[in-house]
Amino acid sequence: MFWAIWLTLCFVILSVLTVQCAGNWLYGFADCTVFSDRLARRLTGISLLSFAAGIAYGVILLVGGGIWELVVRARN
């Protein structure tokens, strides 16, 4: 549940940055009207790291579940 809320918050932050700044999340934001450029870079970095961590967590769960399924089937 925490990851879902956190990643949703990161998505909202990137959406706000897209509206308030020139540029995009891949190449970076500049000329922000509400945020400083430094804060925009920091928020983008945190959001991208969070997305990467969420993907890694999902892969770990998928692999762990697959291994668990193999172990349970081998017991039967």
pLDDT score recorded for residue 15: 84
**Based on the structure, what is the number of domains in the chain?**
1
What's the pTM?
0.65
Residue 41 CA to residue 25 CA, distance in Å, equals: 9
Mean pLDDT of 17-23: 82
- The per-residue pLDDT for range 30-45, each reduced to its tens digit, is 788 887 888 888 888 8
Residue 23 in this model has a pLDDT that exceeds 90 = no
Mean pLDDT of 20-29: 78
- Work out the angle between the directed axes of helices 37-75 and 2-20 (0-180°, nearest 10): 150
The whole domain housing 46 covers 2-75
Q: CA gyration radius for the chain?
A: 18
pLDDT score recorded for residue 44: 84
